[in-house]
Amino acid sequence: MNRIDRCFERLKDESKKGFIAYIGAGDPNLESTKNITLELAQSGVDIIELGVPFSDPLADGLVNQLAAQRGLQSGTTIEGVLQTVKAIREKSDIPIVLYIYYNLIHRRGLEDFIQTAAKCGVDGLLTLDLPPEEADNYELIMTQSGMNSIWLIAPTTPEERIKIIAERGSGFIYYVSREGVTGMRQDVVTQLKDRVDIIRKYTNLPIAVGFGISTPSQVRQVSADCDAVVVGSAIVDRIGKDGQNPSLAVEIGSFTKELSSGLR
């Protein structure tokens, strides 16, 4: 069983909600990415999303754009990210999802990238700018590799398209809780339960909610209506500020443990 599926089975058995942490790969460098991931695995995080740095991250707000820029400046490449995942696998079984733009996959070669990622220990891909309707070959290769195809659903997605996306996904559905790009917010989106209920009509997959969640109280509020909460920009912002701290991984682990306390 895929590690993501196994993780959600465990959470369901324990009647718990999941905590998914997003960090930018290569920010401030790939060694730090490995160390932070291993620390997060010990700090209550259930799934890691690794953002693969890209020069034109259209779905991301300023905080994550700057993380991508720092990742590129540190010399991070696709191969470097995959080798970092491989190194993490020597010490941890935490599920890992690559948050990636399709051009990076296309340039490497679809089948080669997916098969290599799976061999290195990646459990799923969240390919931001690939429409599910154009992903038949992608999904076939993903299934053959044993990886999950994770799709986004937005607040503006019409119900007929929610049905299409939800039926094609695997692992979990990522519901973007608000319009626009990634980034920290002061308030929690309203009508979340109504939208999640619509998605549940078309899938039994777990539903994770992200975009804009940045405090323990927000984690607690959002978790009432979904199966997992995704926090990214708040963690990435802290990495950006403390990037030169020799105790960076421990600091990020402590900060993330504080955020995930909203689930307990």
Q: Is 115 exposed, middle or buried (0-12, 13-18, 19+ CB in 10 A)?
A: middle
Which structure tokens are listed for 213? 């969640």
Contact yes or no for 252/232 (Cβ under 8 A): no
The answer to whether 49 is a known catalytic residue is: yes
- Which among 5, 27, 46, 60 is annotated as catalytic? 60
Q: Is the dihedral of CA 121, 242, 252, 47 positive or negative?
A: negative
Q: Residue 240 and residue 27: Cα distance in Å, rounded?
A: 8
Q: Which of 5, 39, 49, 237 is catalytic?
A: 49
Q: Which residues, 6+ apart, have CB-to-CB distance to 16 below 8 Å?
A: 263
Residue with tokens 């931001």: 128
Q: Helices marked H in 169-232 — which ranges? A: 192-200, 216-223
Q: Is 179 a catalytic residue?
A: no
Active site residues: 49, 60
